[in-house]
Amino acid sequence: MIVELGHLALVLAFALAVVQSIVPIWGTFSGDRRLMATADTSSLGILFFVTLSFGALMWSYAVSDFSVVNVWQNSHSQMPFLFKLTGTWGNHEGSMLLWVFILALFAAAVSLFGSALPPSLRANVQGVQAWLLATFLLFILLTSNPFARQEAALEGQDLNPILQDIGLAIHPPMLYLGYVGFSITFAFAIAALIDGKIDSAWARWVRPWTFIAWTFLTAGISMGSYWAYYELGWGGWWFWDPVENASFLPWLSGTALLHSALVMEKRDALKIWTVLLAILTFSLSLLGTFLVRSGVLTSVHTFASDPTRGLFILAILSAFVGGALFLFILRSSRLEAGGLFAPVSREGALVFNNLILSAAAATVLIGTLYPVVYEAFTDAKISVGAPFFNLTFGLVMIPLLIAVPFGPLLAWKRGDLLGISQRLMFAFLAAILVIILTGAFTQKGQWLAPLGVGLAVWLMVGSFAEVIQRAGLRKATLAVASRRLAGLPRSVWATALAHCGIGVTLLGIVCVTAFETETITVLKPAESVVVGEFSLRHEGYASRTADNYSERSARISIFKSGEIVAVGTPSKRFFPARQMPTSEASIHTFGFSQLYLALGDVEGDGNVTLRIWWKPMILLIWLGTVIMVIAGVISLSDRRLRIGAPARRKSKGKAASHA
Amino acid sequence: MNRRTNRLMWIAVVGCVMALAIGLSMYALRSGISFAMSPSELKAASVEPGQRIRLFGLVEQGSVKKGEGLNVKFTLTDPEEAVVVEFNKILPDLFREGQGIITEGSLAADGVFRADTVLAKHDENYMPADMAEKLKQQGVWKGEEGAGK
Amino acid sequence: MLFWVITIVMLAIAVLSILLPLARRVEQSSNAVQPMDIYVDQLNELEAKVASDKTAAESLAQEKAEISRRILKQARTQDQITSSVASGSIPSIGASLIALVGLPVIVLATYLHTGSPGQPDQPLHARATANLENTSIDEMVVIAERHLAKNPDDAQGWSVLAGVYGRMNRPMDRARALQEIIRISGATPERLADLGEALTVAGDNIVPVRARQLFETAFKSNPQLAKAGFYLAIAQEQEGKLEEALARWTDLAALRVSDPEWKSMVARKQKEIRGKLGLPEPETTPNTLAGPSAEQVEDAANLSAADRAEMIEGMVANLASRLEDNPQDLPGWTRLIRSYAVLGKMDKAQAALKKAHLAFSNQDEIILQLQQQAIQLGLKPPVSKEENP
């Protein structure tokens, strides 16, 4: 009964979403506040029913109810309990339900925390969000119903072993929170276009939502990258896989949106562009969903693909993107043009940021879609590999990375480039010093690596120039300076940290790319191999059986200057239900660097093939993203950005209960 | 600077940057792409030695030969034509005889395909759809059960 | 019943979530923020910044002027937007109707189309503890497998499962189970021979090298073990070592003197191999087909029922496939046709007869022999070649 109630709840959510698609927007057109107000309760109702439904599916995974086709296909009675639960979204149907759950979550968040929004804007946002909800719920019910039933099977077909990992518990929900979170900015854009009122207040309202989505997306992409790094056993952390690109594209345009909304809020300019970016960002999320789910592009991430699903998502994509752009064209002529833009000014720098991010997104998009287009025209299959992306994306981004520290120092309207350059001199000197030092330690001909490290240091140090300047650290006494530091708006700190995070990530990327070593060797028992400053000895070989897999592992002692520092057990697992082996890499952290051991073949006489990577500074890649996420959280806590912040003065108690 | 020249200046900047980005992409696409082919397509096409290619097909039964150290040679078939592939790294977990795989590398002058990447995926999704179709028609495809035995 | 009660409650929640706001009076003064508030806020912020950073005051002045202009403009437009909340009876009646009628209709139509109302949940533990009387063999096997996955050292469990696998004709699984038993309780000659037998059956009744080694080990430690000896002899025969096979059969005859069926089987085997060795054409000797003789098929009684069936089936199939490759073997065809007939597979016997007929279509004498055999076995005699152009 629980399964069927879950199914029914899903249908109820769909019906409510259909009603919410019509009634609130009708309310804004007829000026009836009561109709608008229905969105507040009905979006809570949708969240309630989708949650029930998701809970019911999770329950049937937890108890291994193999009369549910979806559970039977993706679970196994012997799986650890945690993986039974996370298996709920480790497949197409379940992950679509998670997608919709998060969509409902954001819609409900607008009802709960959007009380400061003008009623008609809020009703329209909720209405647009309901269109999305209704469409995707229909998609689930018609093509990917997770509650389809069958005669109870005896045993499930097991979850793909690669997904049997703690990473699955966190990575998709995070990523979806970001991905789907941009639906709110999309809804804001459409709502504003319907209303015809796009002003700097709109930019102020949309920014917190953009920050929430951006923060989750950053965390999600980063988690996914780390998961791929340790779980796949290939030692790589970014593959320019179509699915990775699909999540990276909204990130790029979302980052651009954050910056352009700032211009719109402060200068009442770039309106058309900002609204377009809000539409494009979510369109890229939808495009990603389409690419992944339709099987148009083959990827490590693809679940079983089904042409009807692909067509359905393509229809959703064209309807929403096409409709949004049509509305945009209709209304954009009514928008007033903004003021003058001096090239050297804060807004000039932000436009430059948007320009480069769009160009970078364009190159990634070209590389991702080129195989599809090429095949459509010539019938030959090609693949666009990492070299393409590294060359184009890398080159396009460099000017932006150089410019980043300048941006926050520039004043609105007219900036003083010379004065700023002086303030940034210390960062410039630090970068030069690092370039010389790194150059001295690298081999001849590797001139790119020192420059890359220098650029990273320039970013990391230069990002704090505004903080230093505003605190007056150079002239004031320590006490005064620290008082000023504490008094700085949080957004200043957030900007500095986010920009610094990019530098940290860049440093990790440069170090790993330039200084990584890879050793592949066959080790006899008790034989050793030297990797950099480490010596690794093969100690023996063991097998064991767990609930749903068997495992063979090698014991490798790791010595550093004669002392044993770690014992690694790289292993291979075999999952009989899917007849599928997986590798479990053994990863050892030394500072920010890691030693990565992966097991290859094992020969009869106990010889093991080992693949050993030394990954210098690799953890900085993810540490940088963690810093960016922290920056996102700080900026959300900034008073100026908090939803409905100005209303706080009027009714302090009331607003506080909302926060 | 008046409003008009200001706007024109920005349009020029936008145009330049976009043109640069797209030009760069087009340039990189010339060298950065690799063609995906089956062995018979490879035989039919005139491929210069050294050009990067993604070769996909089935590992022929009994063709895997381990050489010195990590060196391994195997035959990839589609199954009308067959190409010998040489590989010097660790084979992926899912590499098996009779399994569909994708290799990436280039054709050497001696007709041996030197791969630097071997991708094996249990999932038939990983194989280009029409390749899987072709193999199924010819009855060579070993579905999940067949490969499991 | 409970299901439908809950359905109605959930429907009511959904409908009320639309109806309640429609029935409520909306207070006019919400705490919504107007654009004006935001501009004022921006202005305050700017002033705070000017206060803290005197040097920047000049550049911030322009910014301040711009915000002030925005405030003025907003003040002009704000007067025009007087929120016009009509009594709006038509929209709210329409919305109520959608909620009361449209919503339940959508829900029931969709759910009854896609759902399976009334199908109970079937969580695993509920099914596992359900009464075993209704469980099929397949289900019991799955339950046993699950038990053994958790308790892999249960030798008793494995040996039960090995027997079941044997009867279900799953020789590879049987071999796996036997390997587990050997791992847990150690190797005995009997177990090794059983494992070898499972591997042989899995290999279409050709004794594989590994099984042969197992039989040899088993037979060495227990020369009284008839099963091991039997398969060793078969293996030698399959390898074409007919003299060695013959010698082994002679030794094996002594193993079960009191068993008449065993004796007659061994005797027939010996006779058969002697016959093969005595064939005049030397080139057929290496290709000689080791199929079961008709008599052997009729009473391979020294083996268990399951083994016997498997052995015969396998050997006949084996013989048939070899004849495909080497059709010029009259005794082979005769034996195959006979085997099929004895097994009651008349259609296959008929088909084999036709194939043999084709293979020797230009040798009238042989055709005659085949026709005679056909009549003896109750088959339709093959048509002569004139009638079959």
Query: pLDDT for A464-482, tens place per residue?
Result: 988 888 777 667 777 887 8
Measure CB to CB from residue B33 to each of A298, A303, A384 and give the nearest one. Answer: A384
The token pair that represents C286 in the structure block: 């290496």
Q: Is the pLDDT of residue A456 over 90?
A: yes
Assess whether B90 and B142 both reside in one domain: yes
Instruction: Please tell me the distance from the alpha carbon of residue A181 to that of residue A106, in angstroms, as a whole number.
Output: 7
Mutation pick from B18, B90, B124 vs chain A, by most beta carbons of A within 10 Å, is B90
Q: What is the mean pLDDT of residues A190-196?
A: 88
Backbone angles phi, psi at A559, to 5 degrees: -110, 145
Identify the chains in contact with B, defined as 3+ C-beta pairs within 8 A: A
Place A104 in a pLDDT band, splitting at 50, 70 and 90: very high
Place A655 in a pLDDT band, splitting at 50, 70 and 90: very low
For helices C305-325 and C330-343, the axis angle rounded to 10 degrees is 140
Assess whether B113 and B45 both reside in one domain: yes
Place A336 in a pLDDT band, splitting at 50, 70 and 90: low
Assess whether B134 and B70 both reside in one domain: yes
Return the pLDDT at C59: 66
Assess whether B50 and B1 both reside in one domain: no
Return the pLDDT at C228: 85
Distances in whole angstroms, Cα of residue A371 to Cα of each of A366, A374, A379, C122: 9, 5, 10, 46
Assess whether B23 and B81 both reside in one domain: no
The CATH number that applies at residue B144 is 2.40.50.140
In terms of DSSP bridges, do strands B113-120 and B82-87 run parallel, antiparallel, or are they unpaired?
parallel
Residue C31 to residue A18, Cβ atoms within 8 A: no
- CA-nearest residue to C27 within chain A is A33
Other CB atoms within 10 A of residue A123 CB: 29
Q: Residue B3: its chain A contacts at CB < 8 A?
A: 340
The residues that bridge with B100 in the sheet, in sequence order, are: B58
Assess whether B28 and B96 both reside in one domain: no
- Residues 6+ positions from C53 with CB-CB distance below 8 Å: A470
Query: CB distance from B148 to chain A under 8 Å?
Result: yes
Place B41 in a pLDDT band, splitting at 50, 70 and 90: confident
- Residues 6+ positions from B24 with CB-CB distance below 8 Å: A363, A391, A392, A395, A396
Instruction: Please tell me the distance from the alpha carbon of residue B135 to that of residue B141, in angstroms, as a whole number.
Output: 5
Q: Residue B6: its chain A contacts at CB < 8 A?
A: 340-341
Return the pLDDT at A643: 47
Domain definitions of chain A by residue range: 1-164, 169-189+196-403, 424-516+619-628, 518-615
- CA-nearest residue to A293 within chain B is B125
In single-letter form, the type of residue at position B128 comes to P
Write down all domains in chain C, each with its CATH number in brackets: 162-272 (1.25.40.10), 289-389 (no CATH)
- CA-nearest residue to A298 within chain B is B126
In single-letter form, the type of residue at position A259 comes to H
- The total of structural domains in chain B comes to 2
CA nearest neighbour of A186 among A172, A206, A205 = A206
- Contact yes or no for B37/B51 (Cβ under 8 A): no
- CA-nearest residue to C119 within chain A is A1
Chain segment A141-181, per-residue pLDDT in tens: 998 899 988 877 777 777 777 677 777 778 888 888 888 99
Rounded to a whole number of angstroms, the distance between the first and last alpha carbons of chain A is: 38
Q: Residue A147: its chain C contacts at CB < 8 A?
A: 114-115
List chain C pLDDT tens, one digit each, 389 residues. Answer: 788 899 999 999 999 988 888 887 665 555 566 677 777 777 777 777 777 666 666 667 777 777 787 777 777 765 544 444 444 577 778 888 888 888 899 998 988 888 888 788 887 766 655 544 455 667 677 777 877 777 778 888 888 888 878 777 778 888 888 888 888 888 888 888 888 888 888 777 778 778 888 888 888 888 888 888 888 888 888 777 788 888 888 888 777 777 777 777 788 878 878 887 774 433 433 334 444 554 454 444 455 556 666 667 777 777 787 777 777 777 778 778 877 776 777 788 888 888 887 777 777 777 777 777 777 676 776 554 443 43
The token pair that represents C331 in the structure block: 């005794």
Element (H, E) at A438: helix A425-441
CATH number of A1-164: 1.20.120
Return the pLDDT at A185: 94
Q: What is the mean pLDDT of residues A308-334?
A: 85
Q: Residue A340: its chain B contacts at CB < 8 A?
A: 1, 3, 6
Assess whether B138 and B118 both reside in one domain: yes
Residue A201 to residue C91, Cβ atoms within 8 A: no
Return the pLDDT at C186: 82
The token pair that represents A249 in the structure block: 């594209």
Q: Residue C24: its chain A contacts at CB < 8 A?
A: 34, 37
CA distance C3 to chain A (A): 7
In single-letter form, the type of residue at position C324 comes to E
Place B144 in a pLDDT band, splitting at 50, 70 and 90: very low
Which residue intervals of chain C are DSSP H helices? 2-23, 35-52, 57-80, 89-97, 103-114, 124-128, 137-150, 155-167, 171-185, 189-202, 209-221, 226-238, 242-253, 260-277, 294-298, 305-325, 330-343, 346-359, 364-377
- CA-nearest residue to B68 within chain A is A522
- CA-nearest residue to B9 within chain A is A343
Return the pLDDT at C388: 41
Q: Residue C85: its chain A contacts at CB < 8 A?
A: 31-33
The residues that bridge with B36 in the sheet, in sequence order, are: A381, B54
Q: What is the mean pLDDT of residues A646-658?
A: 38
Beginning with the edge strand found earlier in the chain, give each strand of the sheet holding A608-615 in spatial order. A517-523, A608-615, A593-602, A586-590
Measure CB to CB from residue A363 to each of B21, B52, B93 and give the nearest one. Answer: B21
Query: CB distance from C144 to chain A under 8 Å?
Result: no
- CA-nearest residue to A304 within chain B is B125
Q: How many residues in total does chain A contain?
A: 659
Assess whether B94 and B137 both reside in one domain: yes
Instruction: Please tell me the distance from the alpha carbon of residue C96 to that of residue A27, in angstroms, as a whole number.
Output: 13
Chain segment A384-427, per-residue pLDDT in tens: 878 889 889 999 999 999 999 998 888 887 777 888 888 889 89
Class of residue A230 by CB neighbours under 10 A (exposed 0-12, middle 13-18, buried 19+) = middle
Lowest mean per-residue pLDDT among A32-36, A187-191, A605-609, C313-317: C313-317
Assess whether B27 and B45 both reside in one domain: no
Place A280 in a pLDDT band, splitting at 50, 70 and 90: very high
- Contact yes or no for A549/A564 (Cβ under 8 A): no
Measure CB to CB from residue B125 to each of A298, A341, A600 and give the nearest one. Answer: A298
Return the pLDDT at C301: 45
CA distance A653 to chain B (A): 47
Mutation pick from C20, C74, C114 vs chain A, by most beta carbons of A within 10 Å, is C114
Q: Is the pLDDT of residue B139 over 60?
A: no
Q: What angle do CA A533, A536, A540 make, to 5 degrees?
A: 170
Place A363 in a pLDDT band, splitting at 50, 70 and 90: very high
Q: Residue C33: its chain A contacts at CB < 8 A?
A: 116-118, 201, 644, 646-647
Instruction: Please tell me the distance from the alpha carbon of residue B42 to that of residue B83, in angstroms, as a whole number.
Output: 9
Query: CB distance from C34 to chain A under 8 Å?
Result: yes
Return the pLDDT at A373: 83
Residue A382 to residue B144, Cβ atoms within 8 A: no
Instruction: Please tell me the distance from the alpha carbon of residue A475 to that of residue A484, in angstroms, as a whole number.
Output: 12
Class of residue B68 by CB neighbours under 10 A (exposed 0-12, middle 13-18, buried 19+) = exposed
- Expressed as residue numbers, the domain containing B46 is 35-148
For helices A119-143 and A2-30, the axis angle rounded to 10 degrees is 140
Return the pLDDT at B138: 47
CA distance A11 to chain C (A): 6
User: Is the pLDDT higher at A248 or at C358?
Assistant: A248
Chain segment B44-74, per-residue pLDDT in tens: 877 777 777 888 788 887 788 877 767 888 8
Mutation pick from A91, A344, A370, A382 vs chain B, by most beta carbons of B within 10 Å, is A382
Instruction: Please tell me the distance from the alpha carbon of residue B16 to that of residue C69, in angstroms, as a whole number.
Output: 35
SS3 C130: coil
In terms of DSSP bridges, do strands B52-59 and B33-37 run parallel, antiparallel, or are they unpaired?
parallel
CA distance A209 to chain C (A): 16
CA distance A305 to chain B (A): 7
Residue A396 to residue B21, Cβ atoms within 8 A: yes
Of chain A, the percentage scoring pLDDT greater than 90 comes to 36
Return the pLDDT at A141: 92
ipTM score for this prediction: 0.79
Q: Is the pLDDT of residue A218 over 80?
A: yes
User: Is the pLDDT higher at C89 or at A360?
Assistant: A360
Return the pLDDT at A19: 92
What are the strands, taking DSSP E only, across A350-412? 381-384
CA nearest neighbour of A412 among A500, A339, A337 = A339
Residue C122 to residue A470, Cβ atoms within 8 A: no
Instruction: Please tell me the distance from the alpha carbon of residue A36 to that of residue A127, in angstroms, as a whole number.
Output: 9
Q: Residue C27: its chain A contacts at CB < 8 A?
A: none
